[in-house]
């Protein structure tokens, strides 16, 4: 359906932080907090003692701790909606004085990694320090069997480099952390690589084998890209399953808090060539919410071949993701190249429980990026696969104008058709796949290799009518083996809203086995134009469906 024009929200700038921090960071502290029991500490051995004399009453036994389970967390978060959200504030201490320059010099000490004491462990936990932007304490618990125990951290768990050492007292207990990350032998059996990181609001990101950090996911999006202020739910507590010896899967639970809702989350994480997360989200609404965004993905697209002329940059492409891929319920494959629009842009793709949607980094060729530091060709794709019945709704894509690659300006998520009202409860289950994932892998359809755009008309002749030329290259599938003469048996199936297609041409480029579709499109000034095209022939569809939104300046 046509895109809806919205007011522009502020750019998300977590990327500026995440791109500059060292891999380890952790919690904050105040001398006024009692030191919690360290999860890795064993109870001290004690000598046997005699029973007290009768006149001295024995101290009562410690009460039995209630068993922890996902269901018990669910009921706790359901009950929490009866009270208003009360974010904790960072106490006035050295933590509140840490600057950006201090924070980037703090990292977790790998020698104090949690779970390192598990024989043949495949998982280790490092925490992120509190301070600077991370002002709310996050609590971590270790779960063994059905018992949960608070993980304690202090300044001895961290390495403070250079100037940061002068601002941090030694042996000081921290009131919480800013988040955590899990490590596993992802790329080599003898090295614990980063696997997944949870830090900031409900953000998290993960890696497949050979990947470098790029796009992020969130637990939930609330009123993203709307005319009202966006709300950012927070994971305030995490419970991490103590891994068993040799276990290849780890489970994380999280409590979500926000002004309008609460939530209980479960993540079952399996690392590999593709890292897979089975996610269950149980949501409880305190207030009416105008728009819930389920399974939101956040990424960056600055430029590619289609808009490179807007940037004076030696690199041909700068993006974490280059397209939104959707597999519809009926199996139709949609490919929507991303854009960096002149104004806030929004597209809705209506559906009933799609098979999948995701933000992909399709182009894996270093020559197309030429950035030896950023390694954009290794940024992971992330695919959302709904589990169960999600009902009617739409995949929404929000694109925000940006002139810097540190800004996350792309968001994609599922918007349920049903309203979200105070007192409602929802459960959504889905699978997240992270890694070098080709959209629609195994399909017999030709895929979009590249999308280019420029002034329309004929080269060397002034473009007086303001047409725009779109060049779409298809590769693979059954098309790949068709000779150039087969063009007479192929059909261009193209449509445009709020404009018209002036010319359309299809030809084969023999050197690369590419079939190139060229569309010249005309539209009135200021129009938001939706384009769609695919190639058919021999009684069948031969390519995935190419979609694009053009905002005519």
CATH number at residue 409: 2.70.98.10
**Which residues sit opposite 319 in a β-bridge?**
301
- Distance (Å, whole) CA 216 – CA 411: 10
Q: 211 and 357: one domain?
A: yes
pLDDT tens per residue, range 417-475 = 999 999 999 999 999 999 999 887 778 999 999 999 999 988 878 777 889 999 999 99
Q: 385 and 486: one domain?
A: no
For residue 396, give the nearest of 530, 550, 290, 292 by alpha carbon. 292
Q: For residue 40, tell me if it sits in a domain.
A: no
Q: For residue 468, tell me if it sits in a domain.
A: yes
Q: Is the CB of residue 395 less than 8 Å from the CB of residue 346?
A: no
Whose structure tokens read 């304490």? 137
Q: For residue 33, tell me if it sits in a domain.
A: no
pLDDT tens per residue, range 336-347 = 999 999 999 999
Q: 348 and 497: one domain?
A: no
Q: 410 and 516: one domain?
A: no
Q: 466 and 392: one domain?
A: no
Predicted local distance difference test score (pLDDT) of residue 59? 43
Q: For residue 397, tell me if it sits in a domain.
A: yes
Q: 192 and 241: one domain?
A: yes
Secondary-structure percent of the chain, ordered helix, strand, coil, rounded to 5? 10, 40, 50
What is the total count of domains within the chain? 2
Mean per-residue pLDDT for 508-534? 95
Q: 392 and 459: one domain?
A: no
Q: 379 and 496: one domain?
A: no
User: For residues 297-328, b (16+ Cβ closer than 10 Å) or e, as one string?
Assistant: bbbbbbbbbbbbeeeeeebbbbbbbbbbbbbb
Mean per-residue pLDDT for 247-272? 98
What percentage of the chain reaches a pLDDT higher than 70? 88
- Which residues neighbour 355 within 8 Å (Cβ) at sequence distance 6 or greater? 327, 328, 329, 331, 385, 386
Q: 400 and 482: one domain?
A: no
Q: 451 and 376: one domain?
A: no
Mean per-residue pLDDT for 228-245? 97
pLDDT tens per residue, range 132-164 = 999 999 999 999 999 999 999 999 999 999 888
Q: For residue 291, tell me if it sits in a domain.
A: yes
Predicted local distance difference test score (pLDDT) of residue 63? 52
Residue numbers of the domain that contains 238: 14-28+68-435
CATH number for the domain that contains residue 504:
2.60.40.10
Q: 348 and 476: one domain?
A: no
Q: For residue 42, tell me if it sits in a domain.
A: no
Q: What is the value of pTM for the model shown?
A: 0.87
């Amino acid at each position: 359906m046509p895109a809806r024009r919205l007011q522009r929200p502020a750019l998300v700038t977590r990327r500026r932080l995440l791109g500059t921090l060292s891999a380890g960071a952790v919690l904050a502290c105040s001398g006024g907090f009692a030191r919690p029991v360290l999860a890795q500490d064993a109870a001290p051995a004690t000598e046997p003692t005699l029973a007290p004399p009768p006149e001295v009453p024995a101290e009562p036994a410690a009460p039995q701790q209630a068993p922890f389970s996902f269901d018990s967390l669910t009921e706790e978060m359901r009950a929490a909606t009866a009270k208003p959200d009360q974010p904790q504030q960072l106490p006035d201490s050295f933590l509140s004085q840490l600057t950006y320059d201090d924070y980037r010099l703090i990292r977790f000490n790998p020698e104090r990694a949690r779970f390192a004491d598990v024989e043949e462990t495949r998982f280790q936990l490092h925490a992120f320090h509190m301070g600077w932007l991370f002002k709310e304490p996050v609590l971590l618990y270790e779960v063994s069997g059905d018992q949960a125990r608070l993980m304690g951290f202090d300044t001895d768990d961290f390495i403070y480099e250079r100037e940061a050492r002068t601002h941090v007292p030694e042996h000081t207990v921290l009131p919480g952390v800013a988040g955590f990350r899990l490590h596993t032998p992802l790329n080599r059996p003898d090295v614990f690589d980063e696997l997944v990181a949870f830090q900031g609001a409900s953000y998290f990101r993960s890696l497949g084998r050979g990947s470098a950090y790029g796009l992020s996911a969130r637990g939930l999006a609330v009123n993203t890209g709307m005319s009202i202020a966006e709300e950012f739910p927070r994971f305030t507590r995490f419970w991490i399953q103590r891994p068993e010896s040799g276990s290849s899967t780890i489970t994380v639970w999280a409590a979500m808090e926000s002004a309008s809702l609460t939530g209980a989350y479960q993540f079952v994480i399996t690392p590999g060539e593709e890292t897979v997360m089975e996610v269950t989200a149980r949501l409880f609404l305190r207030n009416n919410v105008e728009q819930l965004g389920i399974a939101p993905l956040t990424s960056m697209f600055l430029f590619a071949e289609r808009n490179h002329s807007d940037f004076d940059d030696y690199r041909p492409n700068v993006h974490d993701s280059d397209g939104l891929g959707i597999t519809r319920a009926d199996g139709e494959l949609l490919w929507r190249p991303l854009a960096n629009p002149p104004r806030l842009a929004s597209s809705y793709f209506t559906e009933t429980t799609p098979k999948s949607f995701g933000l992909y980094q399709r182009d894996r060729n270093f020559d197309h990026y030429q950035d030896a530091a950023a390694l954009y060709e290794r940024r992971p794709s992330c695919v959302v696969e709904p589990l169960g019945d999600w009902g009617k709704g739409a995949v929404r894509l929000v694109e925000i104008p940006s002139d810097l690659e540190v800004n996350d300006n792309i968001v994609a998520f599922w918007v349920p058709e049903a309203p979200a009202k105070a007192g409602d409860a929802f459960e959504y289950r889905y699978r997240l796949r992270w890694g070098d994932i080709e959209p629609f892998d195994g399909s017999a359809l030709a895929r979009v290799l590249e999308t280019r755009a420029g002034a329309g008309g004929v080269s060397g002749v002034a473009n007086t009518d303001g047409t725009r030329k779109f060049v779409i290259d298809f590769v693979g599938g059954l098309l790949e083996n068709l000779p150039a003469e087969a063009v007479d048996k192929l059909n261009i199936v193209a449509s445009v809203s709020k404009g018209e297609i002036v010319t359309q041409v299809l030809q084969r480029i023999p050197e690369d086995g590419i079939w190139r579709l060229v569309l010249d499109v005309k539209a009135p000034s200021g129009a938001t134009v939706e384009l769609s095209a695919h190639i058919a022939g021999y009684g069948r569809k031969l390519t995935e469906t190419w979609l694009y939104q053009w905002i005519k300046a």
